C-alpha cells in the first residue's frame, strides 16, 4: 500500500465520506484531496470545506458545476427522450460521468496516485464512477472502501467516528432514507422502501406537493426550443441550469414528477426506489411534442428504436464510451430543426401538451385538413398505396398460408 501517496476522494461531507477520509489516511498512510461538486443537490456545499479541514485535508476542491451538468450531460440525454425501463429518467446515472471526469482531472493536476468514492459494493454507482475513470485514465488506481472495510453498518461507522474523533452530525432514531440529489432529481432508497409492497410515506418527498394538494387552477407555461434544447421559458432566455431550476419549482408546485419503481440494477439485483424528477418530467413531454411537428417520421421512429439502448448505456455507466458517442452523434444530428415553442398545462400531477408551433414544422394544414384541401392531396392515390403494401399478404393468403 506504500505506493499510494495521494488520493482524490469524491467528498460530500456526510458520514460515509468523512469516515473514508480518515480511513484512507489510516489504511494507506496517504494524503487525501477532497472534491465536492455542486450539481444542484439543494444543500450548501461550502460547509464541506470546514469538515475536510478538520480532518487534516490540505487540498480541497469545491466547484459549482450546475451549468456544465445541465448543458453537457442532462440536455444531450434529453435530446434522445431517454427513459430507462419505461419510467426512470436517469437522474443519478447522468451525474456520475461529470464527477468521474473531474476526479481524474484533479488527480492529474495534483499528481495523485489514486481516486476514491463512497459508493457501496451493491450498487450501480461504483460501476459508473470506475468505468468513467478507467475510460479517461486507463492506469488509474481506484480505492473503493466499501469493498475493503468491515464498516458495513451505520452503527459501525458512528463507532469509528467516536474512536477517531471524526466530527459528524449524529441523528437520533432511525437512519434517514438513502438519498441522492442533483438538479435533475432526488432519489430515495432504504427503510420501508425495501419492501416493494409498502407505500412511500408522504413526508419523505422533498421537492413536490402531493398531486391532490396541488392548486385547483392549472398553470400554463411555454418552452422555447433551439436545436432540441430549451433556451427560454415564457419568452425569457435562460441558461441551461436556470431552465431546470425553474421547471423544478413550477412542476413541484403542481405535484409533478414523482415515481415509485423497481428497477434492474446493472450488478444483477432488483432495487426499489422512489424518484422526484419534476423538471425532467416536463422536459421529456415537451421535447417529444416539439419533435412531433419538426422531425421526419422515419427519423423519429429511428430515435425511438435506439433510445432503450442509449438509456442502458447511460444507466450502466458507459457515458465515456465509443458507443455512447456514436449514438450521441446520431441523436444530435436529428436535432437541427427541432426548434419552436411548446405550450403546456400543468395540473395536479399531470403535464398536458396544449400547443406546439415551429417555423420548421412539417405539419401541413392544407394536407392534413378534413375540409376542402384544394388538391393538395389526391385521395385516389391511397388505393394503389394500400394494394402495393398488401401484395405480400394477398400472395400468402392465396397460397393458403395461415397467420
Are residues 149 and 253 both part of a single domain?
A: no
Residue 107: which residues within 8 A CB-CB, separation 6 or more?
A: 8, 33, 114, 115, 137, 140
37 is a domain residue? yes
* Pairing state between β 219-226 and 229-233: antiparallel
The catalytic position among 66, 96, 101, 272 is: 96
Look at residues 219, 216, 161, 181 and name the one whose alpha carbon lies nearest to residue 39. 181
The catalytic position among 178, 292, 321, 361 is: 178
For the question of residue 100 being annotated catalytic, the response is no
How far apart CA 378 and CA 180 sit, in angstroms, is 57
pLDDT tens, 187-246? 999 889 999 999 999 999 999 999 999 999 999 999 999 999 999 999 999 999 999 999
For the question of residue 206 being annotated catalytic, the response is no
pTM, whole model, 2 decimals?
A: 0.94
Question: Considering the chain, what is the average pLDDT of its residues?
Answer: 94
Are residues 34 and 135 both part of a single domain?
A: yes
How far apart CA 151 and CA 147 sit, in angstroms, is 10
258 is a domain residue? yes
156 is a domain residue? yes
Containing structural domain, residue 197:
178-357
The catalytic position among 38, 113, 125, 229 is: 125
Q: Please classify residue 30 by burial: count the beta carbons closer than 10 Å to its beta carbon, then call 0-12 exposed, 13-18 middle and 19+ buried.
A: buried
3-class SS at 111? coil
pLDDT tens, 92-121? 999 999 999 999 999 999 999 999 999 999
The catalytic position among 12, 16, 229, 258 is: 16
Which pLDDT score is estimated for 24?
A: 96
Are residues 191 and 340 both part of a single domain?
A: yes
Which pLDDT score is estimated for 173?
A: 47
How far apart CA 272 and CA 189 sit, in angstroms, is 7
Give the chain's domain count: 3
Which pLDDT score is estimated for 361?
A: 97
Q: 10-residue block means of pLDDT along the chain (403 residues)?
A: 87 92 95 97 89 95 98 98 98 98 98 96 95 97 96 88 82 64 95 94 95 98 98 98 98 98 96 97 98 98 98 98 98 98 98 98 89 86 95 95 85
For the question of residue 16 being annotated catalytic, the response is yes
279 near 40, Cβ under 8 Å? no
- Measured CA angle at 152 (ends 148, 158), to 5 deg: 115
CATH of the domain at 214: 3.90.1260.10
3-state helix, strand, coil in the chain (%, to 5): 45, 20, 35
Are residues 391 and 316 both part of a single domain?
A: no
Are residues 48 and 115 both part of a single domain?
A: yes
Amino acid at each position: 500500500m506504500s505506493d499510494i501517496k495521494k488520493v482524490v476522494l469524491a467528498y460530500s461531507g456526510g458520514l460515509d465520506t468523512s469516515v473514508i477520509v480518515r480511513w484512507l489516511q489510516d489504511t494507506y498512510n496517504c494524503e487525501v484531496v477532497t472534491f465536492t461538486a455542486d450539481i444542484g443537490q439543494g444543500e450548501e456545499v461550502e460547509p464541506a470545506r470546514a469538515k475536510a479541514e478538520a480532518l487534516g485535508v490540505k487540498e480541497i476542491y469545491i466547484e459549482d458545476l450546475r451549468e456544465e451538468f445541465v448543458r453537457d450531460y442532462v440536455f444531450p440525454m434529453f435530446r434522445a427522450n431517454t427513459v430507462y425501463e419505461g419510467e426512470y429518467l436517469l437522474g443519478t446515472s447522468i451525474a456520475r460521468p461529470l464527477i468521474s471526469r473531474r476526479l481524474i482531472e484533479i488527480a492529474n493536476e495534483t499528481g495523485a496516485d489514486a481516486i476514491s468514492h463512497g459508493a457501496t459494493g451493491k450498487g450501480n454507482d461504483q460501476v459508473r464512477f470506475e468505468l468513467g475513470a478507467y475510460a479517461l485514465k486507463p492506469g488509474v488506481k481506484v480505492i473503493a472502501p466499501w469493498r475493503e472495510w468491515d464498516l458495513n453498518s451505520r452503527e459501525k461507522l458512528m463507532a469509528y467516528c467516536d474512536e477517531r474523533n471524526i466530527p459528524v452530525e449524529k441523528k437520533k432514531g432511525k437512519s434517514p432514507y438513502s438519498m441522492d440529489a442533483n438538479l435533475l432529481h432526488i432519489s430515495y432508497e432504504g427503510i420501508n422502501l425495501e419492501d416493494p409492497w409498502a407505500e412511500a410515506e408522504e413526508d419523505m418527498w422533498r421537492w413536490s406537493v402531493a398531486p391532490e394538494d396541488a392548486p385547483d387552477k392549472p398553470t400554463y407555461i411555454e418552452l422555447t426550443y433551439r436545436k432540441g434544447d430549451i433556451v427560454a421559458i415564457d419568452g425569457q432566455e435562460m441558461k441551461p441550469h436556470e431552465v431546470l431550476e425553474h421547471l423544478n419549482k413550477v412542476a413541484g408546485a403542481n405535484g409533478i414528477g414523482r415515481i415509485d419503481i423497481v428497477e434492474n440494477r446493472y450488478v444483477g439485483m432488483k432495487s426499489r426506489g422512489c424518484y422526484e424528477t419534476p423538471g425532467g418530467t416536463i422536459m421529456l413531454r415537451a421535447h417529444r411534442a416539439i419533435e412531433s411537428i419538426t422531425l421526419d417520421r422515419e427519423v423519429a421512429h429511428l430515435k425511438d428504436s435506439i433510445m432503450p439502448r442509449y438509456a442502458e448505456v447511460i444507466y450502466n455507466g458507459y457515458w465515456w464510451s465509443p458507443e455512447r458517442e456514436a449514438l450521441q452523434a446520431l441523436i444530435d444530428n436529428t436535432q437541427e430543426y427541432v426548434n419552436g415553442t411548446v405550450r403546456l398545462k400543468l395540473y395536479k400531477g399531470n403535464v398536458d401538451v396544449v400547443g406546439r408551433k415551429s417555423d420548421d414544422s412539417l405539419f401541413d394544414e392544407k394536407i392534413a385538413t378534413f375540409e376542402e384541401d384544394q388538391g393538395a392531396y389526391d385521395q385516389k392515390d391511397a388505393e394503389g398505396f394500400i394494394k402495393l403494401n398488401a401484395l405480400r399478404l394477398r400472395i400468402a393468403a392465396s397460397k393458403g398460408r395461415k397467420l
